[in-house]
Structures are given as C-alpha cells and as structure tokens.
Structure 1
Amino acid sequence: MAIKDVIAAIRKEAGITQEEMARRLYVTRQAISRWEQGRTLPDV
C-alpha cells in the first residue's frame, strides 16, 4: 500500500476532513491534499 493510500485511509477511518487533519498535524490543507494525491511526501 502506497503512503498516499495509507494517509487517506487513516483520515477517512478517523472520520475527519483534510482541514481537520491538517490542523492536527500543523500543516496546510493543501499539503494533505498533495500527500493524498501522491504529488509530494510528508517530511519525516
């Protein structure tokens, strides 16, 4: 399973929006969107 799929699955399982996930991780909603699209990867 690709990282983009894992991120989306975790978010959907938690029942939260990209906006809420971004707030909890201290990143932008756009960053979450790019991660889920596979355009970029989260920094470790």
Structure 2
Amino acid sequence: MEELSLSKNVANLRKKKGVTQETLAEFIGVTKASVSKWEIGVSQS
C-alpha cells in the first residue's frame, strides 16, 4: 500500500473536490500562502 504524505493528501483531496487553494484557505481561516505551503510540504518552525 502506498503511503501518502499529509501534503499530498491535502492537495489531492482539495483538487478532487474542485476547490481552489483560496477557497479552502477562506473556509478554514488561513491564508492562501499557508495552504500552498502545506501542499508543497513547507512548514514554519
């Protein structure tokens, strides 16, 4: 079984539902940049 990272899961599920990064960001109360960083696997320390 292939293990997907959280970043790939976020991107895959968002795209599967036809939701933009901007729409997802607004819905959960973060910036579009945050969603983008999650999807590429960049985190803040």
Which bracket does the TM-score occupy, shorter chain normalised? 0.7 to 0.9
RMSD of aligned residue pairs (Cα, Å): 1.2
1:40 CA displacement: 1.5
Aligned residue pairs total 41
User: How many Å separate the matches in 2 of 1:24 and 1:9?
Assistant: 17
* Equivalence for 2:8: 5
1:19 CA displacement: 0.2
User: How many Å separate the matches in 2 of 1:40 and 1:6?
Assistant: 15
Structure 2 letter corresponding to 1:30: A
Give the fraction of aligned pairs with identical amino acids, expressed as a percent.
34
Structure 1 letter corresponding to 2:12: A
TM-score, normalised to structure 1, is 0.86
Flag structure 2 segments of 5+ consecutive residues without an equivalent. none
Flag structure 1 segments of 5+ consecutive residues without an equivalent. none
SS in 2 for 1:39: coil
Residue 18 (str. 1) matches residue 18 (str. 2): no
